[in-house]
Structure 1
Amino acid sequence: MQLNSQVNVQAAQSEIRQQGRTRLANFLNSDDLSALCREVDAINQWNLVSRLQGRHLDLDAQAMQGISSAQRQEFYRRLAEEPGFTYLFENYPIYDKWHSGALKATTPQLAKVFTLLNSAPVLQLMRELLDAPDIGFADAQLTRYRAGHFLDKHDDAVEGKSRVAAYVLSLSHGWQPQWGGALEFYHPDGSVSERFLPQLNTLSLFAVPVPHAVTRVKADIQAHRLSITGWFRCGEDPGP
């Protein structure tokens, strides 16, 4: 798997320097993208991730689909009352599975994407775009936002993680603005400065820290907001 040679590096570099973010359209070659999307559509083991009582939760997404209506209502009630930063979406832990040795055997196309993100050409591109020569690796997760899923406003700054920039590689086909699921950026006063809608095979890249969120997917939407997300980080990969 290789980076699409038609990516407009010069324009992206200018946008990063002026605005702290950019979008790289047609990030993957079309054949690689098609194989990747077929594999992602076949994945049936997802985590439902959230934050309750001040701690991160990894739940079995399929099992959560089978809980009673009363249990589901109680879960959402507690989530709505949770103070501070909260979120709700599904993920497939690419980075952890890579380090456990399971990724290539179970999802070889995702393994190829992870290898590409950590390849010398991509890491060098990110060092140049972000003016960050210390970038040493990328982590990754596959995310799926279904109806009602969201990610509250935050800035990605976590002590010890050495995050230089966040990225979101969209795998969503035909996503519509009215569905929600937009990546929003904010001014210091809390107003929206820019909104990125999911666009197939586009890599959104933005410097850390910057306030951003993923708006709630509307309750009646059947489509899934799919993307590979993570951070380009400094130093050597410490493992999960």
Structure 2
Amino acid sequence: MHINIETFNKAALTKQFSERGFVRIDNFLSLDDAEQLAKYYQNELKFTNAFYTDNHNREATDEQIGALPLEEKRRLFQAIQNNAAQGVGFLYGRKKVELTDADLTAKLLKAMNSEALIKLVSEITSKPELKYADGQATKYRVGDFLTRHIDNLAGETRQIAYVVGLTKQWHPDWGGLLQFFEPSGEPTNSLAPSFNSLTLFDVNKVHSVTSVANFAPRQRFSLTGWYRK
């Protein structure tokens, strides 16, 4: 995977991050790599369903959910929606990525862990303590969402969240926006999915992913994770 580090305006990106707590870098990967990844995510990568019920983060495959009796399936999705109505929860497709995997998304994660990129992210965000990045592939379908939260969890070493956008030609009316908020809950900036981009933001920024509209004709794909110390 080739990252276009030589084309990035480090001074401008550092200024933007300092002022807003987030920054987006366009044309992040070589176009060939980005195109290849987008096709792989859409056609080959297998996702499980991640969701929140009964005060726990849970996962289930499409097959496991499909095998549930109709009434039990209805209760599951109703519980997910009820939690979301109270401002807690999520529903989306995910696949945890390991550096030891032998697929394209693992190659992308290895690129995210390159010495040159970690150095650049550290300088842009003024976080010299960054050591490595973890990652998960994500897929948001019609109705999928992630409610308002911060990523700075007790006992974790997360410092900077990142999103590599792998969705082509997304329209903002389709939802799936990375939405930022004031601590009070007042919405501020929002970012529509952008193909071949890297978004960085501080783990203390309140954010969500808005629900994908029922008329969205395609799915929202990305690699997400955290740079850690």
Establish whether TM, by shorter chain, passes 0.5.
Answer: yes
How far off its partner does 1:185 sit?
0.4
- The residue correspondences of 1:207-218 to structure 2 (distance < 5 A) are 207-218=202-213
2:107 and 2:45 mapped to 1: Cα distance? 19
Per the alignment, do residues 61 and 7 of structure 1 end up closer, same or farther by CA in structure 2, a change over 3 Å counting?
A: farther
- The residue correspondences of 1:38-77 to structure 2 (distance < 5 A) are 38-65=39-66, 67=68, 69-77=70-78
Match of 2:131, SS state, is strand
- The residue correspondences of 1:1-240 to structure 2 (distance < 5 A) are 1-4=1-4, 5-65=6-66, 67=68, 69-82=70-83, 85-95=88-98, 98=99, 101=100, 103-104=101-102, 107=103, 109-234=104-229
Kindly indicate whether the alpha-carbon contact (under 8 Å) linking 1:46 and 1:62 is maintained by their aligned counterparts in 2.
no
* Aligned partner letter, 2:32: D
Report the aligned-residue RMSD: 1.6
Match of 2:7, SS state, is coil
Give the length in aligned residue pairs.
226
Task: Give me the TM-score of the superposition, normalised by structure 2.
Answer: 0.93
Q: Alpha-carbon deviations, 1:97-128, whole Å to 9, x = none?
A: x3xx4x11xx2x21211111001000000110
Question: Which residue does the alignment assign to 1:237?
Answer: none
Unpaired runs of 5+ in structure 1?
Answer: 235-240
Fraction of identical pairs, as percent: 28
Kindly indicate whether the alpha-carbon contact (under 8 Å) linking 2:152 and 2:159 is maintained by their aligned counterparts in 1.
no
How far off its partner does 1:204 sit?
1.0
4+ runs of 1 displaced by more than 3 Å?
Answer: 65-72
1:156 and 1:198 mapped to 2: Cα distance? 19
* Aligned partner letter, 1:94: V
How far off its partner does 1:40 sit?
1.6
Per the alignment, do residues 220 and 9 of structure 1 end up closer, same or farther by CA in structure 2, a change over 3 Å counting?
A: same
How far off its partner does 1:68 sit?
5.4
